[in-house]
Amino acid sequence: MKEHVCSNYCELSKKVAERIIEQLRTKPKSLITIAGGETPLGVLKYLSEHLVSEDVDYSQVKFISLDEWVGLDSNTYGSCRQTLNDGLFNNINLTSDQIIFFDGNAENLTLECEKVDKIICDHEAIDLIVLGIGMNGHLGFNEPNIVTTNASIVKLSDVTKNVMNKYFNESMELTHGITLGYNQILQSKKIILMASGSNKRSIMDEMKRVKVSYSLPASLLKYNDALEIYIDEEANIENGKDQS
């Protein structure tokens, strides 16, 4: 498990964004996934500012959704799609076929899963996936003790329901998510797990210590050769130890 400890969130974001730029330079026709949520916001900002100025060819990349809240689409502030739109997609020049996203508000969510499964299957695998980690160790919306393979509709855990209101302007009663499954995540050719801030320190420590188990979804990543962890000092357990 390769781990990069960055001195702060700014450096963490820059390093991960540079990995994405490197991926695009090596393989312009990449299939890339970037999580929503707060952790990758700095990455999105860096990419928005640097893709054009560094003359990166992003005309062939496809961005594929990691997850979405069931009931929400890009019209709701705080949805995954809105976060990615605002943070990156609207700031660069992408065509509509370069973004394949779960529509959490679609009438037929099974078709949403099939749409995303087909793109990944046609491409063989995601080239680069950037993940955050939930307070309970979830990956995408793969909550503890739920086993998925491909894109799936899953029940949100109580932890996720408690945390979710940080994303929204209004109180939300959301019960389910739509998410890439473990196969799609674990078979990605490069996997970046980002963690920032002291509130992620204990779950990152637990992930490294526990046996691989669906009870802590992120633990499934840890023996994957494709995994690289990018963590800032606040989220790093060594930092916690040094301070105590």
For ligand F6R, the closer CB: 61 or 218: 218
Q: Which is nearer to ligand F6R, 80 or 192 (CB)?
A: 80
- Site residues (vs ligand F6R, CB under 6 A): 35-39, 66-67, 80, 132-134, 138-140
Residue with smaller CB distance to ligand F6R, 166 or 241: 166
Which residue has the closest beta carbon to ligand F6R?
132
Active site residues: 67, 136, 138, 143
Give the nearest distance from C-beta 155 to ligand F6R in angstroms: 15
Nearest approach, Cβ of 135 to ligand F6R (angstroms)? 7
- The least distance separating ligand F6R from the CB of residue 28, rounded to whole angstroms, comes to 25
The three state secondary structure string of the chain is CEEEEECCHHHHHHHHHHHHHHHHHHCCCCEEEECCCCCCHHHHHHHHHHCCCCCCCCCCCEEECCEEECCCCCCCCCCHHHHHHHHCHHHCCCCHHHEECCCCCCCCHHHHHHHHHHHHHHHCCCCEEEECCCCCCCECCECCCCCCCCCEEEECCHHHHHHHHHHCCCCCCCCEEEECCHHHHHCCCEEEEEECCHHHHHHHHHHHHCCCCCCCHHHHHCCCCCEEEEEEHHHCHHHHHHHC
